Chain A
């Protein structure tokens, strides 16, 4: 009986030792592997690029195909909203035309400065994870560095370069929980304050919200948010979002608002990395 007990204790000790040795070996291998983490990831991404790009395109087309079925009911409502928005835009256009001539020369200079000042590098989108980190098919070999702003062809801000590998990069979207972007609010209605400062904070799940807007400032749904000159990470006047619902509480020093981001990750194939923004500053 005592022999059996000893055998059982020895067996337990033996298996514990095996687990410890196994754990140590795994940890050791992982530490060694992490010295080569960039080349390993770069190799796997390069190998996977054709398949991943195919999956991305297939997902994009099939989701838009299925989406058209599911969203059939809301198309009518969306159409009415678009009509109203169009009327508002036409009214604004009429006002803008009257001051166009006076501003033309000045705006041409500023536009040309903005366009010629920044070098844009086009990159294909190949993946997205559940932490709002996007993968693109350009990396350090193409001149990409961490922190570079990422936009689309309509000057909509998507985020900034977060990790760079030789042929690939990871982009932290502005909806990432860690993202904070200084913005100014361009009001759609005639108001005393032409521009109000605020901050767009990511909340994950491809969503973000507007925060730190002074309580005494008046903001409204449809107001457009663009990047502010205060934010040194991004060029100013890039499109960010529009306000969908304001949340004002008089007991708080700042007001918040729900926003709809202009950056629609689902329907994007290519993005542009501004490669010389820091130098251009």
Chain B
């Protein structure tokens, strides 16, 4: 358990560094993939359905790294990811069970909706509550952001399926 937790913390940290430095050189019309969010979403999506403590843990870890490398206070990403994590678990429980417990047809739309929700809620927070009143750019960049993130999230999905397929 502790080894897994340490590995996940390290991954979140490295992904936060990558998306703030390395991947900025590979931006698509200004859109940069949010690796931390993708990892958080994948972990929650593939997690056991009734494991709420894991959701809290993942949300706190991912949120801290997202907030530390942003210019705003510590907290908004943690709270938004907590909401997203519990909503995702709730939706997963209400979805019809299939032979494959974690099908791609569920992953794809849920990821898109929650990524959009994350960006929208963060934009709302930055505009309404952050003292700098920063307006986030929603437009063509958002479309590229969704496509870019979806592409990388799909890779994460299949990697997760390949390596943890037997466990799931």
Interface residues of A (CB under 8 A from B): 22, 26, 30, 33-34, 37, 40-41, 44, 48, 51-53, 55-56, 58-60, 62-63, 126-133, 135, 162-163, 170, 175-178, 203-207, 265-266
Contact = CB atoms under 8 A, between A and B. Distances in A.
Contacts of A131: 70, 134, 136-137
B24 A127 contact: yes
Given A37-B73, A59-B24, A170-B71, A48 B30 contact: no
Contacts of A30: 74-75, 78-79
Interface in B15-39: 17-18, 20-27, 29-32, 34
A266 B144 CA distance: 18
Contacts of B23: 59
A56 B60 contact: no
Contact of A59 (B25, B29, B56, B137): B25
Nearest to B86: A19
B104 to A, nearest CB: 26
B121 interface: no
B69 interface: yes
B56 to A, nearest CB: 7
A129 B20 contact: yes
B82 interface: yes
Given A26-B60, A177-B135, A33 B74 contact: yes
A208 to B, nearest CB: 11
Residue with the highest number of chain B CB atoms closer than 10 Å, among A22, A128, A130: A130
Contacts of B32: 128-130
Interface residues of B, number: 38
B96 to A, nearest CB: 24
21 contacts: A26-B78, A30-B79, A34-B74, A41-B68, A55-B18, A56-B25, A59-B22, A127-B20, A127-B21, A127-B24, A128-B21, A131-B134, A131-B136, A131-B137, A133-B71, A177-B137, A204-B141, A205-B27, A205-B139, A205-B141, A266-B24
Interface in B82-139: 82, 132-137, 139
A130 B145 contact: yes
Contact of B31 (A40, A60, A130): A130
A40 B74 contact: yes
Nearest to B123: A131
A175 B141 CA distance: 13
Nearest to B32: A130
Contacts of B17: 48, 51-52, 55
Contacts of B20: 52, 127-129, 135
B47 to A, nearest CB: 17
A128 B24 CA distance: 6
A130 B30 contact: yes
Contacts of B27: 130, 205-206
A205 B136 contact: no
A178 B134 contact: yes
A247 to B, nearest CB: 16
B22 A56 contact: yes
B136 A204 contact: yes
Nearest to A51: B17
A229 B69 CA distance: 34
Contacts of A129: 20, 24, 32, 69-71
B82 A26 contact: yes
Contacts of B6: none
Contacts of B1: none
Q: What 3 pairs across the A-B complex have the smallest Cβ distances?
A: A205-B30, A204-B137, A59-B25
Nearest to B82: A26
A127 B22 CA distance: 8
B18 to A, nearest CB: 6
Given A129-B69, A203-B137, A205-B139, 19 more contacts: A26-B78, A33-B74, A34-B73, A48-B17, A51-B17, A52-B17, A52-B21, A59-B23, A63-B26, A127-B20, A127-B69, A129-B32, A130-B30, A130-B31, A175-B30, A178-B135, A205-B30, A205-B31, A266-B24
A256 to B, nearest CB: 15
